[in-house]
């Protein structure tokens, strides 16, 4: 049973080693990176360290995120970065404690219109989970009138309904229901897609799909999250399974309360196609899907891909193959800006071996990569995670390492 979080942490740690071996050189022309916050200036890393997930905004332009570890009890924190006169101040909203019931090792966040934050923890919840200190939780953080935040555990996984919620986190529908994936567990032990339904302050979990079945494994271990299209169908990736056991893209189609799976693509580590997708997908206005794979491509350092549909048939196209020089090992999926531009990150490679932020540009039917920033020059961070664009086209994200104290950063890229 794979532990994708450990795999991702290994990739980021490898980037740290490569980054320490490089020397600094001028930043890439045409874009600028600004470190908004470097983690762990506080004794004992009470402010958190090792952020592994996304950043979300509020209407005032403040940023919210998590660190996978650190905090007063070294189980991770939820933080806010408050913007004031060009400076950013960190505020820890919640510190995860040794209590298993309240969860530990938090993943990505989402924010609803009322300002509540929702997320998952990779571990914790219940005491008994096969070989693990808890199977993981889904939580809500609610702001109070005096600046305090209250954590409520909405669901504790028990293994049979899945465990190890995916680091990509949750999505929210218009009715207030939450959707996510677990990387493992479930009735057939290969992960689940689940829904949490609120009703008078209580939340009920419903398993929409369990990967594998008694007849075999068409797909398994969804490391990324799921996304919706306009018709209410769900799309996601699995790290393993498919015709070559090197990962898949799948669709879940709702019909009268039941969800039917459809396999859209099986990855093939054949020297061209990608393999082992671990990030979430992105959907554009035309209905095309975009994503990344950790390995595969012409140099076996990962790919960026597109899936298009025509009369119900899906066709995959590799948009770009990474080759270390231009980045390597993309863990996060691709980000589509409000102007239709595609951005992404690699956790390794680039000029300074600390990973990259890149843009994919379509010109005359061909896709080209443009490097916006090379990490690994010292205090700029290394091992970047997924990106979030603002209305002005600036990109925000976290890096799992580097920064002024070597424990990760929150950064801004101005293309």
pLDDT of 14 reads 41
Residue 65 lies in a domain: yes
> Regarding beta strands 395-401 and 226-228, do their DSSP bridges make them parallel or antiparallel, or are they unpaired?
unpaired
pLDDT of 57 reads 95
Closest CA to 398 of 97, 74, 70, 50: 50
pTM over 0.85: yes
Do residues 345 and 359 make contact, with C-beta atoms less than 8 angstroms apart? Answer: no
Residue 247 lies in a domain: yes
pLDDT of 30 reads 59
Task: State how far the Cα of 317 lies from the Cα of 294, in Å rounded to an integer.
Answer: 16
- Count up the domains in the chain and report the number: 1
User: SS3 for 162?
Assistant: strand
Number of C-beta neighbours around residue 63 at 10 A: 23
Six token digits for residue 320: 């770009």
3-class secondary structure per residue, 276-325: CCCCCCEECCCCCEEEEECEECCCCCCEEEEEEEECCEEEEEEEEECCEC
Residue 392 lies in a domain: no
Residue 27 lies in a domain: no
Residue 361 lies in a domain: no
Six token digits for residue 126: 């219940």
Hey, which residues does 38 pair with through a beta bridge? Answer: 409
- What is the CATH number for 172? 2.120.10.30
pLDDT of 213 reads 66
User: SS3 for 48?
Assistant: coil
pLDDT digits (tens, 9 = 90+) for 151-202: 999 999 999 999 999 989 999 999 999 999 999 999 998 999 999 999 998 9
Residue 51 lies in a domain: yes
Task: State how far the Cα of 135 lies from the Cα of 31, in Å rounded to an integer.
Answer: 42
Residue 6 lies in a domain: no
Closest CA to 154 of 136, 171, 181: 136
pLDDT of 1 reads 46
pLDDT digits (tens, 9 = 90+) for 361-408: 998 889 999 999 999 988 999 999 999 999 889 999 999 999 999 999
**Regions in the chain scoring below 70 on pLDDT:** 1-30, 130-131, 213-217
Burial of 29 (0-12, 13-18, 19+ CB in 10 A): exposed
pLDDT of 214 reads 58
By residue range, what is the domain housing residue 157?
A: 46-342
List C-alpha distances in Å: 399 to 84, 304, 312, 384: 22, 20, 39, 4
List C-alpha distances in Å: 62 to 55, 65, 111, 136: 10, 10, 12, 28
Cβ-based neighbours of 255, under 8 Å, separated by 6 or more:
none
Task: State how far the Cα of 156 lies from the Cα of 162, in Å rounded to an integer.
Answer: 10
Closest CA to 346 of 359, 361, 335, 357: 357
Six token digits for residue 375: 């990490």
Closest CA to 230 of 178, 285, 289, 170: 285
Residue 35 lies in a domain: no
pLDDT of 274 reads 98
């Amino acid at each position: 049973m794979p532990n994708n979080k450990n795999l991702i942490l290994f990739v980021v740690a490898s980037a740290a080693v490569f980054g320490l071996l490089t020397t600094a050189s001028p930043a890439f022309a045409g874009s600028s990176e600004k470190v908004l916050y470097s983690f762990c200036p506080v004794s004992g890393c009470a402010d958190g360290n090792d952020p592994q997930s996304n950043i979300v905004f509020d209407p005032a332009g403040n940023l919210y995120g998590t660190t996978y570890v650190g905090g007063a009890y070294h189980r991770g924190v939820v933080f806010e970065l408050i913007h004031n006169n060009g400076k950013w101040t960190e505020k820890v909203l919640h510190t995860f404690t040794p209590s298993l019931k309240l969860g530990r090792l938090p993943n990505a966040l989402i924010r609803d219109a009322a300002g509540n934050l929702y997320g998952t923890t990779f571990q914790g919840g219940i005491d008994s989970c096969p070989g693990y200190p808890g199977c993981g939780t889904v939580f809500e953080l609610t702001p109070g009138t005096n600046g305090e935040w209250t954590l409520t555990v909405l669901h504790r996984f028990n293994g049979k309904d899945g465990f190890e919620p995916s680091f990509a986190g949750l999505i929210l529908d218009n009715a207030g229901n939450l959707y996510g994936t677990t990387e493992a567990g479930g009735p057939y032990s290969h992960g689940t897609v689940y829904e949490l339904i609120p009703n008078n302050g209580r939340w009920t979990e419903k398993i929409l799909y369990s990967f594998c079945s008694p007849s075999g494994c068409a797909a398994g271990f969804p490391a990324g999250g799921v996304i919706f299209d306009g018709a209410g169908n769900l799309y996601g990736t699995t790290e393993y399974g498919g015709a070559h056991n090197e990962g898949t893209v799948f669709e879940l189609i709702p019909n009268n309360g039941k969800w039917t799976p459809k396999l859209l693509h099986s990855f093939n580590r054949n020297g061209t196609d990608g393999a082992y997708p671990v990030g979430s997908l992105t959907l554009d206005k035309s209905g095309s899907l975009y994503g990344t794979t950790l390995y595969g491509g012409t140099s076996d350092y990962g790919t960026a891909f597109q899936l298009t549909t025509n009369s119900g048939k899906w066709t995959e196209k590799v948009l770009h193959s990474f080759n270390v020089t231009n980045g390597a090992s993309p863990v996060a999926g691709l980000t589509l800006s409000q102007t239709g531009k595609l951005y992404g990150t690699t956790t390794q490679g680039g000029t300074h071996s600390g990973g990259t932020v890149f843009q994919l540009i379509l010109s005359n039917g061909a896709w080209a990569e443009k490097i916006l920033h090379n990490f690994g020059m010292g205090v700029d961070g290394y091992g970047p995670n997924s990106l979030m664009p603002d209305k002005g086209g600036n990109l925000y994200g976290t890096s799992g390492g580097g920064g002024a104290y070597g424990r990760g950063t929150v950064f801004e890229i101005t293309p």
